[in-house]
Amino acid sequence: MGRNAQEEKLQSIYNQVKDFPGGKPGFIARILGLNRSDVIRMLPAMEDKGLYICEDEKGGLWPFDLKK
């Protein structure tokens, strides 16, 4: 997978988390046509790109904006 495609996928995941805050990785994956494990594996790479996501105690994903 090329670098641009990877960055687009990371941004797509982040956008879905923003649209559906508290959604679990499996739900986000279904929306995007990905595997749940793909979403989970990409979380550290998202942080490296400045796309911060928090996970709650029930496994829900929440966007985290450092600007606030």
Domain positions in the chain: 3-63
Provide the residue type at 15 as one letter.
N
The pLDDT value recorded for residue 12 is: 96
Confidence of residue 65 (pLDDT cuts 50, 70, 90): confident
pLDDT at 35 over 60: yes
Q: How far apart are CA 18 and CA 12, in angstroms?
A: 10
Q: Over the chain, what is the mean pLDDT?
A: 91
Instruction: Give the model's pLDDT for residue 37.
Output: 95
d(CA 36, CA 39): 5
pLDDT number for residue 5: 85
The pLDDT value recorded for residue 1 is 53
Yes or no: is domain 3-63 CATH 1.10.260.40? Answer: no
Query: Distance between CA 16 and CA 20 in Å, rounded?
Result: 6
Give the per-residue pLDDT at 28. Answer: 97
Query: Is 46:40 a contact under the CB 8 Å cutoff?
Result: no
